[in-house]
């Protein structure tokens, strides 16, 4: 009996001991959780009872050089649902599908999904969002948002780029400066039960969003429009595949305009532009095929595509030869229409040849045999040194994504034939912007600049937070060589192959080119013209490329006049007024003209007549639509830039 009682006591003692041990473990665990992990579990409890909704930050604006907004924001809304807060599921599904024009299947899938919050549709306009908000549907959230908006639709589309559904940059400046333009999203925090039901009358916590910074650029809307207008006109006239124009300040690398027509609408970037719509109107495309076409449409050929520059590259060969002092302006050459290099006869563009000519004549005539000879004097090794010095072996560093680099022979593979063809711009490829950068160094005194759009970054209050700077390299060529090249290239326009770029009152320098596309003898060409003004002190340099013009394709014939048209508008806009020589006044009858007869004409008809004359100010007196009197009178001879007064009935 005693023995059994002893065993029972031992068992009881062991059980009590285990209970005490368990209690001690629980106390220690509880102390551990309450003291060392209190913050973690408090956060988990808070997360369980808080619902978080994002407040989109406003993306920073993009401005042109005059302060015009070229990338803006439009207020929109995001419609979302919280599953556990929905009381009438079918009403929510039918209402949202009808108002948002979505299929019931799509809306149902999202409404029935068990998640803390599910987005139904973004970028909903305010009117539609207010319609949903006024229904007062339980579990349906209407949150403020922003959508990127481009006031000029397709202006500089491949430069500006566009944003995705979450307002992140996709291409162009939008992605290059995305870290500055993107703001910091805010949030709304509401209290809910453990089952996700929002607690009535509970206070909301709101963390305000921080708007993004704004980008100020060198792009000029007016100059872009001038260039785009000229590009569209020549593209239609010559039925070309594409026309590209770049306008840049050769002194500091600021890009004023970069046109690639046909452009595309930035407010609907996933839709084909007009040319592609016509081409694929009745074609069924897979999603993969459509994406490939869209990527091609978004591609910026000025920086991402390489081409053989042709005769515009002769400015490089000439500058290198002058710098090396292997040629002088009075050196004589003979062009029979070709030059024999090793076992090949390489032709000049003029079949019968130019005969005896000086180096100056060779540049004005764009004579291939002259440049083959000059290139041979410089030699392959030194020529490649100049290519490197001129930045032709590296990317320009432009502040746009997707820049390509040049494609050239390895130096050890350059024989006499390769050197000869490279001397006049064939058998290698560069980007248009690389050529423009090199030409700028040749005419600006020898400074290799970095082409760019970005100028400064400002915050939402307008305070400058960063002034953007770019690398420059001095003495690509000497000032003496630069002055000589400006004089030679002005002669090309005044009395050479580029004379169709001549503008009375302005000193224009330039070089023509007609590049045969690969494969050879395909009958496809790129007509181009490189021009700058004023020749003595360049403030703007332009490069125009017409891809596959139909009919006449010579650069001097079809490309030079287009650059002249652009510069005729751009130079006065930049404050550079014409200064006519006495010979120009006589030759072009500048200065005096006879006043036409406006009486009886409608206001619209009068304005069409006025556009052909050099009036300074036009004054309309009266509010009618028909001209009943004018001053000066018709037939009077007046000076250019005289005023005109038209009296309306």
DSSP string computed for 400-466: SS-----B---GGG--HHHHHHHHTT-SSBB-HHHHHHHHHHHHTTS-B---B-EEEEE-TTS-EEE
What is the spatial distance between Cα 181 and Cα 176, in angstroms, rounded to a whole number?
A: 10
3-state secondary structure of 539: coil
What's 627's DSSP letter? E
What 3 state SS string does 553-584 have?
A: CCHHHHHHHHHHHHHHHHHHHCCCCCCCCHHH
From 628, 619, 630, select the one nearest 595 (Cα to Cα).
630
Residue (of 259, 277, 258) closest to 268 by Cα position: 277
Burial 490-511 (b: 16+ CB within 10 A, else e): bbbbbebbbbbbbbebbbbbbb
Which secondary structure element, helix H or strand E, spans residue 292, and what is its range?
Answer: helix 287-298
| Neighbouring C-alpha atoms within 13 Å toward the C-beta of 133 | 12
Q: E-strand spans in 125-284?
A: 140-149, 186-191, 205-207, 214-217, 242-248, 255-261
Q: Catalytic annotation on 406?
A: no
Q: Report strand pairing: 525-533 vs 338-341.
A: unpaired
Which H or E element spans position 141? strand 140-149
Please list, in sequence order, all residues whose beta carbon lies within 8 angstroms of the beta carbon of residue 43, skipping any fewer than 6 positions away: none
| Residue pair 180/60 in contact by the 8 Å Cβ criterion | yes
SS3 192: strand
**End-to-end C-alpha distance for the chain, whole angstroms:** 137
* Among candidate residues 169, 229, 177, the one with its CA nearest the CA of residue 570: 229
Dist CA 32 CA 40 (whole Å): 12
Q: Which of 157, 182, 311, 440 is catalytic?
A: 311
Going by their DSSP bridges, the two strands 214-217 and 62-63 should be labelled as: parallel
Tokens of residue 34, six digits? 């309450």
Distances, alpha carbon 199 to alpha carbons 111, 203, 230, 288, in Å = 21, 9, 63, 48
Whole-Å CA distances, 72 to 174, 335, 363, 427 = 12, 58, 47, 44
Backbone angles phi, psi at 5, to 5 degrees: -65, -40
588: tokens are 């072009």
Coil, helix or strand at residue 278: helix
Q: Where are the alpha helices (DSSP H) in 299-401?
A: 301-304, 314-324, 359-365, 368-378, 380-389
Residue 445, Cβ density class (10 Å: 0-12 exposed, 13-18 middle, ≥19 buried): buried
The length of the chain is 649
Is residue 201 classed exposed, middle or buried when 0-12, 13-18 and 19+ CB atoms within 10 A define those classes? exposed
| Both structure tokens of 507 | 């000193």
Which amino acids are annotated catalytic?
Answer: 311
């Amino acid at each position: 009996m005693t023995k059994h009682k002893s065993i029972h006591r031992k068992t009881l003692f062991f059980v009590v001991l285990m209970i005490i041990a368990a209690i001690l473990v629980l106390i220690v665990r509880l102390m551990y959780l309450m003291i060392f992990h209190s913050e973690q579990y408090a956060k988990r409890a808070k997360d369980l009872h808080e619902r978080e909704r994002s407040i989109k930050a406003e993306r920073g604006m993009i401005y042109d050089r005059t302060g015009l907004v070229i990338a803006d924001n439009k207020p929109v809304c995001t419609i979302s649902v919280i599953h556990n807060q929905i009381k009438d599921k079918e009403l929510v599904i039918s209402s949202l599908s009808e108002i948002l024009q979505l299929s019931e299947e799509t809306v149902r899938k999202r409404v029935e999904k068990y998640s803390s919050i599910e987005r139904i549709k973004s970028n909903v306009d305010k009117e539609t969002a207010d319609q949903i908000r006024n229904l007062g549907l339980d579990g349906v959230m209407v949150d403020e948002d922003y959508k990127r908006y481009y006031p000029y639709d397709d202006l500089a589309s491949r430069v500006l780029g566009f944003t995705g559904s979450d307002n992140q940059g996709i291409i162009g400046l939008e992605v290059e400066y995305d870290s500055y333009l993107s703001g910091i999203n805010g949030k709304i925090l509401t209290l809910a039960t453990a089952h996700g039901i929002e607690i009535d009358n509970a206070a909301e916590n709101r963390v305000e969003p921080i708007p993004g910074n704004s980008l100020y650029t060198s792009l000029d809307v007016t100059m872009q429009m001038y260039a785009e207008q000229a590009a569209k006109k020549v593209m239609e006239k010559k039925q070309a595949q594409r026309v590209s124009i770049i306008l840049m300040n050769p002194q500091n690398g600021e890009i004023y305009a970069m046109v690639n027509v046909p452009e595309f609408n930035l407010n609907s970037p996933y839709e084909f532009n007009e040319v592609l719509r016509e081409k694929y109107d009745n074609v069924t495309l897979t999603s993969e095929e459509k994406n490939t076409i869209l990527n091609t449409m978004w591609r910026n050929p000025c920086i991402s595509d390489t081409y053989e520059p042709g005769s515009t590259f002769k400015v490089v060969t000439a500058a290198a030869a002058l710098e090396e002092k292997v040629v002088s302006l009075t050196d004589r050459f003979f062009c029979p229409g070709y030059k024999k290099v090793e076992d090949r006869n390489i032709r000049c563009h003029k079949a019968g040849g130019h005969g005896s000519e000086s180096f100056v004549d060779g540049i004005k005539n764009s004579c291939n045999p002259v440049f083959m000879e000059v290139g041979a004097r410089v030699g392959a090794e030194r020529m490649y040194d100049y290519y490197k010095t001129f930045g032709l072996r590296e990317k320009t560093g432009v502040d746009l994504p997707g820049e390509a680099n040049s494609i050239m022979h390895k130096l050890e593979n350059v024989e006499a034939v390769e050197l000869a063809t490279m001397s006049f711009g064939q058998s290698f490829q560069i980007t248009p912007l690389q050529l423009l950068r090199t030409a700028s160094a040749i005419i600006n005194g020898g400074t290799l600049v970095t082409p760019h759009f970005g100028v400064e970054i400002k915050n939402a209050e307008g305070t400058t937070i960063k002034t953007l700077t770019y690398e420059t390299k001095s003495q690509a060529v000497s000032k003496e060589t630069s002055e000589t090249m400006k004089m030679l290239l002005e002669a090309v326009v005044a009395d050479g192959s580029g004379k169709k770029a001549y503008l009375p009152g302005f000193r224009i320098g330039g070089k023509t080119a007609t590049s045969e596309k690969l494969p050879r003898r395909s009958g496809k060409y790129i007509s181009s013209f490189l021009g700058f003004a004023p020749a003595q002190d360049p403030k703007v340099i332009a490069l125009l490329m017409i891809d596959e013009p139909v009919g006449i394709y010579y650069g001097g014939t079809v490309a030079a006049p287009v650059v002249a048209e652009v510069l005729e508008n751009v130079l006065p806009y930049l404050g550079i007024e014409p200064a006519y020589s006495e010979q120009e006044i006589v030759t072009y009858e500048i200065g005096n003209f006879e006043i036409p007869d406006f009486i009886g004409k409608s206001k619209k008809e009068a304005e069409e007549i006025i556009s052909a004359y050099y009036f300074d100010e036009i004054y309309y007196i009266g509010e009618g639509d028909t001209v009943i009197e004018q001053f000066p009178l018709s037939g009077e001879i007046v000076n250019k830039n005289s005023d005109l007064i038209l009296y309306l009935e």
